Amino acid sequence: MCGIIGYIGERNCIPILISGLKRLEYRGYDSAGIGVLSDAESVIVKKPGKVSSLEEKVELLNLSSNVGIGHTRWATHGLPNEINAHPHSNQNGTISLIHNGIIENYQTLKKGLQKLGYNFISETDSEVLPHLIDNFISRGHSLLKSVRLALSEVEGTYGIAVIYSGEPDKIVVARKGSPLIIGIGSDENFVASDVSAILAHTKQVVYLEDNEIAEVFRDHFNAKTISDDEIEKEVHEISMSLEEIDKGGYPHFMLKEIMEQPESVRNSMRGRILLEEGNVKLGGLAEVADRLAKSKRIIISACGTSWHAGLVGEYMIEQYAKIPTEVEYASEFRYRNPIINPDDSVFFISQSGETADTLAALKEAKNNGALALGICNVVGSSIARESIAGVYTHAGPEIGVASTKAFTSQLVVLALITLLISRKRGMSLEEGKKIAEELNSIPEKINLILSKNDEIKNIAEKYCNVKNFLYLGRGYNFPVALEGALKLKEISYIHAEGYPAAEMKHGPIALIDDNMPVVFIAPKDSIYDKVISNIEEVRARGGNIIAIVTEKDENMNRLVDHSIKIPDTIPMLMPILASIPLQLLAYHIAVKKGLNVDQPRNLAKSVTVE
Ligand code: F6R
């Protein structure tokens, strides 16, 4: 969601904060601000819009400071304007505070503080924090203790960084439900919500856990729990390089990430496939694999694109492992008192590993004694750390807000897990080998699809002015239809819906006329003929048809306006291939419309609030 960066050391922090904010901009980007201590005076500079606007404003002020914090915001409470941007401050301006998360009881806290004479200027929930801290400081407590006491009154989630002109040698940070890391440098230290913000300066990081607080000085840090117990923190080495999170010559991260998929899915499989044994090795599940295979039921919980991957997972697991599987939105799962039994296994899928609903659902499942497993992309993320066991997708950093390569890697990992469980439950060596071989051939097949980029771009250009799109698929390709529609709507702002193709005649068919493009995912599989009937129904009503078909399908050309041919594979893996032309279609439509594909409006890469 929002992004946090902070610096304390001997260098001027301004360029470090601005470049860190630019790296974080993909997380939240409706306004930005910095707070620094200059000659022990607090200075706050804020600006609505992009970090580049803030940068221009800061340059005019000629500021210099050795300690500061910066924030890029994705609005939850209050409009994205200058007043609501962070840092927020107390009345006399001595405290600057940035906050990710949501203070749920802020109205109550605000009323109490107003009674004590505190004035509020913003519409945000976050503004209660500097006033609350001020209230404790004015009673003679240190900054650290005041932050601790203030947070003990707060309900909700937070990742915060605070500086105070009365104690200019430190940044105080704390975390509950919103990621916060400390970057260790030499005679300088950093704080951030995301490693990408500080990777240019250090690869040594410390992850704060929920309910932990730390004082970060130039040359050391002290961490404690919010209830004041001493704790030892481990320093981790980040293996990701800065180049890995750059655009690499592509005009957008999204295109770069689509094009990276042969490599990213290969990385998801690397060292995990045992071709001769028709099996897989998943180190992260080794300890729990037998229990997993004996599960009476598997539940998969996630949000958005990751939820779509979960739907494909359901089809895979039920087809091969024959374990009843359910897929549920994490936001629903966490609040509806789901029945979870100790012999259930629950997978939580998340690219970021920080999605608030998924994380809360995971905790709920764990509390109910289920085997709670993570499928995450970001190493060391909260979901990865909270899970009992799990599998990393290893897709590499995904910066474009619309998930692309993370999705296909999630599908690969779900296929690997299916193979692992199924082989333990009686799948034959022969069948195991077939799936393993097919998986191995996927990267090459993706290359063939990517070589059709220009062809897909030409099709996209014809449809960039339409208002609605329908995506239809059946079986394994129904979730692909949902994902194709989501990709289009989130980056091109064209209304799009995905349906199981046969459902069309139960309602959506009423929408079809010659202004309605319909995308069919129609590979030659056991239900191909049924999909052809659905295509005929659309044709009869004048709809424009774009079909994703498998090579050698010559029949389709006469039925549809455009066909995009992709290589054949077994049905369980078809979603990996079929989703890629749909990613490219959405991308080119959005580019043609002149939209910011990497940072679509109202969206954030990591949804760390409910
Ligand atoms: C869509 C998209 C979102 C995410 C969702 C869950 O392109 O990116 O729908 O899939 O917000 O995010 P993660 O996977 O990080 O839990």
User: In this prediction, what percent of the chain has a pLDDT beyond 90?
Assistant: 78
Q: What are residue 113's phi and psi, to 5 degrees?
A: -70, -35
Ligand 1 atom with minimal separation from the 406 CA = 14
Which residue minimizes the CA distance to atom 16 of ligand 1? 350
User: In this prediction, what percent of the chain has a pLDDT beyond 70?
Assistant: 98
Supply the residues annotated as catalytic: 2, 605
Tokens of 400: 């474009």
Cβ atoms 343, 295 nearer than 8 A: yes
Question: Is residue 323 domain-shared with residue 263, that is, in the same domain?
Answer: yes
Cite the DSSP H helix spans in 225-303.
253-259, 261-269, 289-293
Question: Is residue 52 domain-shared with residue 79, that is, in the same domain?
Answer: yes
519 lines ligand 1 (CB under 6 A): no
Nearest to 203 by CA among 243, 236, 245: 236
CA pair distance 216, 230, nearest whole angstrom? 15
- What is residue 249's predicted lDDT score, i.e. its pLDDT? 73
- What is residue 243's predicted lDDT score, i.e. its pLDDT? 67
Cβ atoms 29, 22 nearer than 8 A: no
Q: Per the domain annotation, does 217 fall within a domain?
A: yes
CA pair distance 573, 315, nearest whole angstrom? 11
Question: Of 449, 473, 489, at which residue does a domain stop?
Answer: 449
**Which pLDDT tens digit goes with each residue over 181-237?**
999 999 999 999 988 899 999 999 999 999 999 999 999 999 999 999 999 999 999
**What mean pLDDT is predicted for residues 114-132?**
96
- What is residue 600's predicted lDDT score, i.e. its pLDDT? 84
355 lines ligand 1 (CB under 6 A): yes
Cβ atoms 370, 341 nearer than 8 A: yes
Question: Is residue 357 domain-shared with residue 414, that is, in the same domain?
Answer: yes
306 lines ligand 1 (CB under 6 A): yes
Q: Per the domain annotation, does 609 fall within a domain?
A: no
Question: Is residue 161 domain-shared with residue 258, that is, in the same domain?
Answer: no
The domain in which residue 315 lies consists of 250-449
**What mean pLDDT is predicted for residues 103-119?**
95
Question: Is residue 592 domain-shared with residue 501, that is, in the same domain?
Answer: yes
Nearest to 152 by CA among 229, 231, 228, 226: 226
Question: Is residue 50 domain-shared with residue 161, that is, in the same domain?
Answer: yes
- What is residue 27's predicted lDDT score, i.e. its pLDDT? 59
Ligand 1 centre from 355 Cα, in Å?
A: 8
Among 85-99, 279-293, 493-507, the range scoring the smallest mean pLDDT is 493-507
Question: Of 243, 258, 275, at which residue does a domain stop?
Answer: 243
Ligand 1 centre from 221 Cα, in Å?
A: 33
**Which pLDDT tens digit goes with each residue over 318-363?**
999 999 999 999 999 988 888 888 899 999 999 999 999 999 999 9
Q: Per the domain annotation, does 306 fall within a domain?
A: yes
**How many CA within 13 A on the CB side of residue 151?**
30
Question: Is residue 38 domain-shared with residue 7, that is, in the same domain?
Answer: yes
Q: Per the domain annotation, does 40 fall within a domain?
A: yes
Nearest to 157 by CA among 349, 382, 352: 382
CA pair distance 531, 139, nearest whole angstrom? 72
DSSP state of 7: E
- What is residue 47's predicted lDDT score, i.e. its pLDDT? 95
- What is residue 381's predicted lDDT score, i.e. its pLDDT? 86
The confidence band for 26, taking pLDDT boundaries of 50, 70 and 90, is: low
Is the pLDDT at 284 greater than 60? The verdict is yes
Domain CATH code at residue 71: 3.60.20.10
**What mean pLDDT is predicted for residues 23-50?**
87
**What mean pLDDT is predicted for residues 559-563?**
94
**Which pLDDT tens digit goes with each residue over 570-609?**
999 999 999 999 999 999 999 999 998 988 887 777 776 6
Ligand 1 atom with minimal separation from the 378 CA = 15
- What is residue 376's predicted lDDT score, i.e. its pLDDT? 95
Distances from the Cα of 75 to the Cα of 10, 330, 373, 442, 495, angstroms: 33, 22, 31, 40, 23
Residue entry with tokens 């940044």: 171
6 lines ligand 1 (CB under 6 A): no
Question: Of 449, 473, 492, at which residue does a domain stop?
Answer: 449
DSSP state of 513: S
Cβ atoms 606, 74 nearer than 8 A: no
CA pair distance 497, 512, nearest whole angstrom? 12
Ligand 1 atom with minimal separation from the 304 CA = 9
Nearest to 336 by CA among 368, 292, 374: 368
Question: Is residue 305 domain-shared with residue 188, that is, in the same domain?
Answer: no
Nearest to 584 by CA among 268, 293, 254: 254
Bridge partners of residue 350, in order along the sequence: 376
- What is residue 607's predicted lDDT score, i.e. its pLDDT? 72
CA pair distance 92, 113, nearest whole angstrom? 15
490 lines ligand 1 (CB under 6 A): yes
Question: Is residue 57 domain-shared with residue 204, that is, in the same domain?
Answer: yes
Give the strand order in the sheet containing 389-392.
325-329, 297-302, 344-350, 371-376, 389-392
Question: Is residue 458 domain-shared with residue 595, that is, in the same domain?
Answer: yes
For a ligand 1 pocket test, name from 74, 178, 306 the mutation site with the most ligand atoms within 8 angstroms of its C-beta: 306
Domain CATH code at residue 341: 3.40.50.10490
**Which pLDDT tens digit goes with each residue over 251-260?**
899 999 999 9
Among 246-250, 267-271, 423-427, the range scoring the smallest mean pLDDT is 246-250
CA pair distance 584, 466, nearest whole angstrom? 17
Q: What is the sign, positive or negative, of the torsion defined by CA atoms of 563, 569, 573, 577?
A: negative
Q: What is the sign, positive or negative, of the torsion defined by CA atoms of 558, 562, 565, 569?
A: negative
Read out DSSP for 285-306? GTTTHHHHHT-SEEEEEE-HHH
Among 27-31, 110-114, 395-399, the range scoring the smallest mean pLDDT is 27-31
Question: Is residue 194 domain-shared with residue 256, that is, in the same domain?
Answer: no
Q: Per the domain annotation, does 606 fall within a domain?
A: no
Buried b (16+ CB within 10 A) or exposed e, 268-287: bbeebbeeeebbbebebbee
Q: Per the domain annotation, does 388 fall within a domain?
A: yes
608 lines ligand 1 (CB under 6 A): no
- What is residue 294's predicted lDDT score, i.e. its pLDDT? 97
- What is residue 117's predicted lDDT score, i.e. its pLDDT? 96
Q: Per the domain annotation, does 27 fall within a domain?
A: yes
Q: Per the domain annotation, does 593 fall within a domain?
A: yes
Which residue minimizes the CA distance to atom 3 of ligand 1? 304
Tokens of 398: 């995904």
Is the pLDDT at 133 greater than 80? The verdict is yes
**Which pLDDT tens digit goes with each residue over 404-420?**
999 999 999 999 999 99
Ligand 1 centre from 165 Cα, in Å?
A: 39
- What is residue 336's predicted lDDT score, i.e. its pLDDT? 85
**Which pLDDT tens digit goes with each residue over 446-476?**
999 999 999 999 999 999 999 999 999 999 9
- What is residue 194's predicted lDDT score, i.e. its pLDDT? 87
- What is residue 74's predicted lDDT score, i.e. its pLDDT? 75
CA pair distance 549, 564, nearest whole angstrom? 6
Nearest to 293 by CA among 333, 322, 254: 322
Nearest to 325 by CA among 300, 357, 349: 300
Number of structural domains (the chain) is 3
Question: Is residue 154 domain-shared with residue 294, that is, in the same domain?
Answer: no
